[in-house]
Amino acid sequence: MDVHEIYLQVRRPDIAYIKFIVESYELLGIIRTVDPEKAVIVLLVLEDSRQLAREVLAALADEVGLEEVPRPAGLGDDWLLGELGIPGPEAGQES
């Protein structure tokens, strides 16, 4: 199964709320904080849940405001992303 990364710029105070909402949907995805200083998070979502994830994010965008952003440069080798089989930026693959 393919895992897709959706990177989001949010307000720092909203990170916990977004995580709570996403995790309240069973098997929707996993939220990780990529850069706590810049409030960049990533939603890791399986192909089967991708449409629902987009719908949830659209609703959240209306409520708390968030913006999809590209994968941050220099993210490096992240153990969780590696465990999930997501290639790093050097692999040249986009989700």
Tokens of 85: 């089989």
Residue 26 has a pLDDT of: 86
Question: Per the domain annotation, does 92 fall within a domain?
Answer: no
Q: Structurally, how many domains does the chain consist of?
A: 1
Question: Per the domain annotation, does 67 fall within a domain?
Answer: yes
| Boundaries of domain holding 54 | 3-86
Residue 88 has a pLDDT of: 55
Residue 6 has a pLDDT of: 95
Q: Is the predicted pLDDT of residue 95 greater than 70, yes or no? A: no
Q: Is the predicted pLDDT of residue 79 greater than 50, yes or no? A: no
CATH no. for residue 78?
Answer: 3.30.70
Question: Per the domain annotation, does 29 fall within a domain?
Answer: yes
Q: d(Cα 40, Cα 23) in Å, to the nearest integer?
A: 17
Question: Per the domain annotation, does 94 fall within a domain?
Answer: no
Question: Per the domain annotation, does 93 fall within a domain?
Answer: no
Question: Per the domain annotation, does 34 fall within a domain?
Answer: yes
- Read off the pTM: 0.78
